[in-house]
Amino acid sequence: MTSIERAMDPNRRVANQVAETAERPPAEKPGQGAGGEGQTRPRLVELDFTELTRRGLLIPSGNDPKLEEEFRLAKRPLLKHAFPRDMRPMPRANLALVTSNTDGEGKSFTTFNLAMSIAMEMDHTVLVVDGDVSRNSLTRWLGMAGERGLTDVLDDPDLGLGDVIAQTNLDNLRVIPSGRSHSRATELMASHAMEEVAEELAGRYPDRMVLFDSPPLLMTSQAAVLANLVGQAVIVVEAGKTTQQAVQDGLNLVDPAVTKVGFMLNKAPRGKHSGYFGAY
């Protein structure tokens, strides 16, 4: 099936997964014989909206119109670059990494909210991958700590992506948790297996947006490695906290030829313009 037909028929999404088995792309690992996304019945994750609201995260029922509006604006450039109308997309443009320079600036927050915002849209599906294996905030927020996830896929040649991907109570939103904690997480992330995962994720559903959460750029090398495996990167900068020097240092680690970089200014002070949004 061509991507156009798929796009015209959103209801076919569930059916697609089953039908995909017949069209396994040659890049799939041979060991994944029984793998592929559609083979195993995907798990279902119940999103605890109360808990999410408590954390200030977005939920579909619109708890914070201002925040919703801000993310609605922010996802546009992401989607535009990932799914351009009038030309071919850049390689792996539908893979986006969300990172920051130091800790605590709001990467997981941004990742989740971006994913939620895109998921509430009609046209696209979102897959969120928690790439921050040491501080897996996203995984914990979703209550999936300890479950099989990314590290397991990377480590175990017998496991495929389909084994760890999880559905949520939102149709458009899928999740891959970080996986069990691993002593050699850094090496795993830098391995060839990760590259293959990225390639698979990019190619499997070209109209699916994949968002990766990641560790800080300046604190480990994982983030930089990951950044160069994906097509887009969103660097979260905390207003009034991230020093200008750190921002520059972070930028130096990402190759602009490979990855399109954009900033997200988080925790900005209430300025002249911020008061308007949300009240309309």
Gap between the Cα atoms of 72 and 58, Å rounded = 11
85 binds another protein (CB under 8 A): no
Q: How far is CA 14 from CA 61, 108, 205, in A?
A: 24, 28, 13
Gap between the Cα atoms of 278 and 269, Å rounded = 16
Smallest gap from Cβ 234 to another protein, in A, equals: 7
Site for another protein in 220-259 (CB under 8 A): 234-235, 237, 239-245, 247-248, 251
Q: Are 177 and 150 in contact (CB under 8 A)?
A: yes
The binder of another protein chosen from 20, 37, 70, 132 (CB under 8 A) = 70
DSSP SS3 for 72: helix
56 binds another protein (CB under 8 A): yes
Smallest gap from Cβ 223 to another protein, in A, equals: 16
DSSP SS3 for 219: coil
74 binds another protein (CB under 8 A): yes
- Which class for 103: exposed (0-12), middle (13-18), buried (19 or more C-beta within 10 A)? exposed
The pattern of x and - marking residues 92 through 121 that bind another protein according to CB under 8 A reads: --------------x---x--x--------
279 binds another protein (CB under 8 A): no
269 binds another protein (CB under 8 A): yes
CB of 30 or CB of 269, closer to another protein: 269
Smallest gap from Cβ 54 to another protein, in A, equals: 7
Q: How far is CA 105 from CA 18, 99, 108, 247, in A?
A: 40, 9, 9, 12
Give the DSSP letter string of 76-112. HHHHHHHS-SSSPPPTTTTEEEEEESSTTSSHHHHHH
Residue given tokens 């799939």 in the structure block: 28
Smallest gap from Cβ 56 to another protein, in A, equals: 4
Smallest gap from Cβ 245 to another protein, in A, equals: 7
Kindly tell me the sign of the dihedral angle through the C-alpha atoms of 103, 104, 106, 109.
positive
Q: Are 130 and 146 in contact (CB under 8 A)?
A: no
CB of 110 or CB of 178, closer to another protein: 110
CB of 58 or CB of 197, closer to another protein: 58
Smallest gap from Cβ 250 to another protein, in A, equals: 10
CB of 90 or CB of 247, closer to another protein: 247
CB of 153 or CB of 254, closer to another protein: 254
Residue given tokens 């190759």 in the structure block: 255
> Can you give the binding site for another protein, defined by CB under 8 A?
54-56, 64, 66-67, 70-71, 73-78, 106, 110, 113, 234-235, 237, 239-245, 247-248, 251, 261-271, 274
